[in-house]
Structure 1
Amino acid sequence: MPNLSTFPVTAKWPAQHPDRLQLYSLPTPNGVKVSIMLEETGLPYEPHLVNFATHDQMSPEFLSLNPNNKIPAILDPHGPGDKPLALFETGAILIYLAEKTGLFLPQDAAGRYETIQWLMWQMGGIGPMFGQLGFFHKFAGKDYEDKRPRDRYVDESKRLLAVLDQRLSSRAWIMGDAYTIADIAVFPWVRNLVGFYEAGELVGFDDFANVKRVLAAFVARPAVVKGLAIPARA
């Protein structure tokens, strides 16, 4: 049985199943990328809720796992060499899990790097831009009299949706017929933009027919349905 007691995070979130991969997360667009990936791969895992309401992400235990105080993070008791491995940053975690299982990342070098390219596009574009748009549209930013900051993110979000729509114009998924970590990274953010952020009309989401089609296919996947609710909120 793996011994995870040397990791301080396990003092705050004890592992009931230390032989399973430990997930520390919250069901946000970034958090569910990893829970969806875990559900899709079938890897045994144990989820732990990192509650922002009680500032769990700022606790010494969580910071010992991720000094950047962001969710999600994982602790795999069976990492390389069968030694425990701790990871944060969703892009790194998705690549790691894909390589660990041999799933959702092409095996050929060209396909692998093209998939990673779209994963990085989500991390550098879709995530930050949609998140800022959510702030200015739904949260505190909506009270700003000056709408130029909001409109900047609206315009950039529209541009990114157009890039994605064009990419999907002749493809079932971002990489073609194969569903990959690129889709797992991108579509939780698209779903959040038109759902939780209620910004669909603002960005003209109905104009992006290919994005709408693939989003519908994504949220219909059983593993996605499960992953979107993990970890369960308290």
Structure 2
Amino acid sequence: MIDLHYWPTPNGKKVSIFRMPATVDHAPADGGGPLSVFESGAILFYLAEKTGKFWPQDLRGKYEVTQWVIWQMANQGPKLGEAGHFRRLADREGDQSYAVRRFTDEANRLYGVLNMRLRDRRYLAGDEFTIADIVSYPWTVNWQATGSRHQELKHFKRWFEEVGARPGVQRGLAVGADLSTDNSKLSEEEQARIRKILYNQRALPVPD
């Protein structure tokens, strides 16, 4: 049994699409005690290796997938997250025009990278659906929030629609739907409390 500690953000949905973010595997392959893994990319590698699915193990296929998982973790997720953040909060935090332009342009560039990659292959790592697609897709679902126009990117649009139509992806996206909150229906005080939790945190002191 694997426990999934989860919240319905794009990073959490990477793991729920895989079907099982932190996980605890109570039956790890080494036969030892429970094994915990955190970080969505590491969890996908772990689950793919454990199940033998969505991650080819031949040398070339393995690293074709691996490099795109790392690309997502280092580029797509952080930059699209910043684009959504600054575009969403620009009207309440003073002049954020540079940050909005910077990350909106970067989001557009990264959608272009996906579009270019998909021009001559069905999925990000070739002809097979892999964790490279699983890790990237959840961050494209709310493409409107980053100011992107995916209909102008025909190769990306084809992939986006095909991956989104997969029953396993649809089931994965539905996980945790009951945990989502419509912030517009919350009081200003509650919205402020949530922002304080989510944004501008600093390092906590290390206990003695």
TM-score interval, normalised by the smaller of the two chains = 0.7 to 0.9
Q: Tell me how far apart the structure 2 counterparts of residues 219 and 102 of structure 1 sit (CA, whole Å).
A: 23
- Percent identical among aligned pairs is 42
TM-score relative to the length of structure 2: 0.81
1:29 maps to 2:10: yes
Equivalent in 26, 41, 51 of residue 77 of structure 1: 26
Secondary structure of the corresponding residue to residue 87 of structure 1 = strand
Secondary structure of the corresponding residue to residue 174 of structure 2 = coil
Which residue is 2:193 aligned to?
A: none
CA displacement 1:98-132 (0-9 Å, x = unmatched): 11011101121111012110000000000001000
CA displacement 1:4-37 (0-9 Å, x = unmatched): xxxxxxxxxxxxxxxx210010111000100110
**What number of residue pairs does the alignment pair up?**
177
Equivalent in 116, 119, 131 of residue 181 of structure 1: 131
Which residue is 1:124 aligned to?
A: 74
- Offset at residue 232 of structure 1 (A): 4.3
CA gap of 1:82–1:232, structure 2 versus 1, over 3 A, is farther
**Structure 1: 5+ residue stretches without partners:** 1-19, 39-44, 46-71
- Offset at residue 137 of structure 1 (A): 1.3
CA gap of 1:142–1:165, structure 2 versus 1, over 3 A, is farther
The answer as to whether partners of 1:137 and 1:150 remain within 8 angstroms in 2 is yes
TM-score relative to the length of structure 1: 0.72
Moved over 4 A (4+): none
Q: Which letter maps to 1:209? A: K
Equivalent in 90, 101, 120 of residue 151 of structure 1: 101
1:212 maps to 2:157: yes
CA-based RMSD of the aligned residues comes to 1.4
CA gap of 1:142–1:124, structure 2 versus 1, over 3 A, is farther
The answer to which structure has the higher helix fraction is 2
Secondary structure of the corresponding residue to residue 100 of structure 2 = helix
CA displacement 1:169-213 (0-9 Å, x = unmatched): 01111012100000000011011233xx2x3xx233222111111
Which residue is 1:228 aligned to?
A: 173
Q: Which letter maps to 1:213? A: R
Q: Tell me how far apart the structure 1 counterparts of residues 63 and 52 of structure 2 sit (CA, whole Å).
A: 15
The answer as to whether partners of 1:74 and 1:87 remain within 8 angstroms in 2 is yes
The answer as to whether partners of 1:129 and 1:153 remain within 8 angstroms in 2 is yes
Q: Tell me how far apart the structure 1 counterparts of residues 132 and 81 of structure 2 sit (CA, whole Å).
A: 18
Which residue is 1:135 aligned to?
A: 85
Q: Tell me how far apart the structure 2 counterparts of residues 142 and 30 of structure 1 sit (CA, whole Å).
A: 26
Secondary structure of the corresponding residue to residue 75 of structure 1 = strand
Alignment of 1:45-84 (within 5 A): 45=20, 72-83=21-32, 84=34
Q: Tell me how far apart the structure 1 counterparts of residues 134 and 91 of structure 2 sit (CA, whole Å).
A: 29
Which residue is 1:97 aligned to?
A: 47
